[in-house]
């Protein structure tokens, strides 16, 4: 939820520069979530397939956030 919450909060910013800051925070939240998935796997709460699928999804999401940020007009 922190990823989408940061993007939503940032969308209310008056400038692209401020919005980009929230996108950076959202991207870092993706990495936090990936770490949680690794911990869940190490504790045998999720299996290898689930871990791999989730990490792949997080990688894709991180790349999409980065691509979106590049479209902003930041001076």
Structural domain includes residue 65:
yes
64 is a domain residue: yes
Inform me whether the pLDDT recorded for 61 exceeds 80. yes
Angle made by CA atoms 23, 24, 29, in degrees to the nearest 5: 95
pLDDT digits (tens, 9 = 90+) for 20-39: 999 999 999 999 999 999 99
Residue 46 inside a domain? The answer is yes
Considering only CA atoms, which of 26, 28, 48, 29 is closest in space to residue 38? 48
pLDDT score at 49: 98
Cβ neighbourhood burial of 25 (10 Å; 0-12, 13-18, 19+) = middle
75 — pLDDT class (breaks 50, 70, 90): low
Tally the domains of the chain. 1
**Residue 39 sits in which domain range?**
2-70
Asked if the structure places residue 42 within a domain, the reply is yes
Residue 55 in domain = yes
Alpha-carbon torsion 75, 16, 33, 67, what sign?
Answer: negative
Q: Check: pTM over 0.95? Answer yes or no.
A: no
């Amino acid at each position: 939820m922190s990823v989408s919450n940061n993007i939503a909060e940032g969308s209310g910013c008056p400038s692209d520069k401020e919005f980009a800051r929230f996108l950076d925070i959202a991207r870092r939240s993706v990495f936090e979530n990936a770490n949680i998935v690794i911990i869940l796997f190490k504790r045998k709460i999720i299996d290898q397939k689930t871990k791999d699928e989730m990490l792949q999804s997080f990688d894709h999401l991180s790349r999409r956030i980065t691509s979106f940020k590049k479209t902003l007009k930041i001076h």
